[in-house]
Chains A and B, each alone.
Chain A
Amino acid sequence: MSSHSENASKFVANDERMHWHDQALWFVREKRDRASKSIPEWEQLREFANQIKTHTMANLDTYLLEFEKNATKKGIKVHFAFDALEHNQIVAKILKEKGVTKLVKSKSMLTEECHLNPYLENLGIEVIDTDLGERIVQLRNEPPSHIVLPAIHLKKSDVSDTFVEHLGTEKGNYDPTYLTRAARAALREDFLTAQAGLTGVNFAIAQTGGVVVCTNEGNADMGASVPKLHIASMGMEKIIPRLQDLSVFTRLLARSATGQPITSYTSHFHTAVEGGEMHIVIVDNKRSQFLSSTKNKKALNCIRCGACMNTCPVYRRSGGHSYEYVIPGPIGSILGSAREPQLHNSLPFACTLCGSCTNVCPVKIDLDSQLYSLRQDLGSADLIDGKKKMAMKVTAWLMTKPALFDFAGKMARFIVPKLPNSILYNKANIWGKQRDLPKMPEKSFKEMFKDGELDD
């Protein structure tokens, strides 16, 4: 497991590709800006969304029970899973009971978190990801690099090469329409031969017991309607109280994610297809840990729109794979380092604390404050680099002794100009790799002031 900075350096090294990736995601951010600025009530909607989520989280147990009651009334079978393993076990059991050998799956970050695909494949069940971006990365055997645009790190040529190998398309044909049609034909085959469909859940409505899935491709709809068995997996924080609260979120979600006023398909699932069965699996997997955290509780507001990644200048230039966590970008850094601080200790530092993510978040998560406080958590838990910690301690001590600090500054200003460049810009000087050091002035401002040089 490499740190974010090591992975990021490799990504940045390919300058042309890094700028292409940066420009592609900035374009999505610009589309989001245009959409958000086209409705005057945008900031009001963000505040509503924040209130709805806060209220729901404060009363999560009540709403979970209300949801279960109403869903069960509609004939949906509701299951609760304490952790990722139990989720996988429940899904596997349902599939095995129906003799399912092939499953079509639409986008679900929860199933990525639980590593469902390898678990099912080990049991001999074939899993086909039906979102085009996810299908591409599945064929390439790599993880998604963005939660909404999983294959954003790939160019048309990469996709074409992958399809040549797995779908038998024409070599060298990079036309996106041609490639999409090929994928559509292949996926159509999978939809028609699968015995079960698994979807994620964008919003679960406690009042009605139904779930809402938003896609642009209609793959969730096809996967839930063609096979006779539909399983919907959801994190327990996806619950919202009433149908009218849903309207706030559908107005925010697509605009924040891609700049569309709404996704092409916003489907409400209230029961199974004729002659079929519908199951919902509600998963905890450490989400209750966030409910008890003073600093990180707002992270549960997340509706997985991806706006924070699109706006993050560090994400755009390092790519999703540099984070080595199922969700990248600002929200991923928070979720990853809050759950497994030792494993993901470089993630809160993969950030300049610029605050852009907090401003774009449709549910007003205080992303930059959480990243700052996670740094302190890592510091207290002794999980930051020992050398750095010592350097900071020494500097802080020095700062508490004004006279000594001034003296150290004076020494630096005296010695540094006399050092030859070969010593000054040696390998240990990381600042000096691509930047010149600032020129050392003769006197500090304090010295100028003391010497009466100011009033001239």
Chain B
Amino acid sequence: MTSKELILKNIRENNIVKDVKLPNYDNFGIKISENKMNEIICPNCKKAFKVDEAGFAEILKQVRDHQFGEELEKRLHLAEKEKINAVKLAEANLKNALQEDLAQKDKQIIELKAKSERELSEKLAT
């Protein structure tokens, strides 16, 4: 028997819970009557003010409208520019670091060359 069958068998054989009807939710809860002025509480200053359907729609519109869209565009553009600048800066820093390294290495090579020439002369002198 699979676990599923075993579980269902256990439930069917041993269940002594007496059944009741599921509740009915008609006419339960907060009623919103027609043509009523909706009361809104400002989350910032906690003042309550009444607004009708049209006024309510006006407020909602402010959240997502043309001005909002423009502001969003502007900020995305700025963020993109910042990113490009940051990348350029990183590249420039890397280049500088590499150039320094390169200069160091050149110096090393000159020193080593000079050293080896000295040694060679010393050897030839003996």
Chain A residues within 8 Å of B, Cβ to Cβ: 41, 44, 47-48, 51-52, 54-55, 57-61, 64-65, 68, 80-82, 86, 236, 241-242, 244-245, 247-248, 282, 284, 288-289, 291-294, 297
Contacts and interface: CB of A to CB of B under 8 A. Distances in A.
A59 B19 CA distance: 7
Nearest to B23: A48
A294 B16 contact: yes
B124 interface: no
A41 B29 contact: yes
A107 B105 CA distance: 57
A424 B19 CA distance: 57
B62 interface: no
Interface string B2-14: 1110111011101
A55 B22 contact: yes
A297 B18 CA distance: 10
B25 A81 contact: no
Nearest to B2: A80
A80 B15 contact: no
A61 B17 contact: no
Nearest to B14: A292
Contact of B10 (A52, A57, A282, A288): A288
B interface bracket (residues with beta carbon within 8 Å of A): 20 to 34
B16 A291 contact: yes
A291 B15 contact: yes
Contact of B4 (A80, A242, A244, A248): A80
B14 A241 contact: no
Contacts of B14: 288-289, 291-292
Contacts, number: 77
Contacts of A282: 7
B21 interface: yes
24 contacts: A51-B21, A54-B17, A54-B18, A55-B21, A55-B22, A58-B18, A58-B19, A61-B11, A61-B12, A64-B8, A64-B11, A65-B8, A80-B2, A80-B3, A82-B6, A86-B3, A284-B3, A284-B10, A288-B14, A288-B15, A291-B17, A292-B14, A292-B16, A294-B16
Given A64-B8, A86-B3, A51 B17 contact: no
Contact of A60 (B6, B15, B21): B15
Interface of B: 2-4, 6-8, 10-12, 14-23, 25, 28-29
B20 A55 contact: yes
B7 A284 contact: yes
B4 to A, nearest CB: 4
Contacts of B21: 51, 55
B32 to A, nearest CB: 15
Contacts of B4: 68, 80
A284 B28 CA distance: 35
Contacts of A242: 22
A81 B3 contact: yes
Contacts of A245: 22
Nearest to B7: A284
Contacts of B20: 51, 54-55, 58
A236 B22 contact: no
Contact of A51 (B2, B3, B23, B28): B23
A250 B28 CA distance: 16
B30 to A, nearest CB: 9
A80 B19 contact: no
B19 A60 contact: no
A276 B32 CA distance: 42
A167 to B, nearest CB: 27
A293 B18 CA distance: 12
Given A54-B17, A86-B3, A291-B14, A61 B22 contact: no
A44 B29 CA distance: 10
B22 A51 contact: yes
Contact of B8 (A59, A61, A247, A293): A61
Contact of B17 (A44, A57, A244, A284): A57
A203 to B, nearest CB: 15
B16 A82 contact: no
A199 to B, nearest CB: 21
A297 B17 contact: yes
A244 B7 contact: no
Contact of B19 (A44, A55, A81): A55
Nearest to B13: A292
A248 B22 CA distance: 12
A389 to B, nearest CB: 30
Contacts of B16: 291-294, 297
Contacts of B22: 51-52, 55, 241-242, 245
A60 B10 CA distance: 11
B2 A288 contact: no
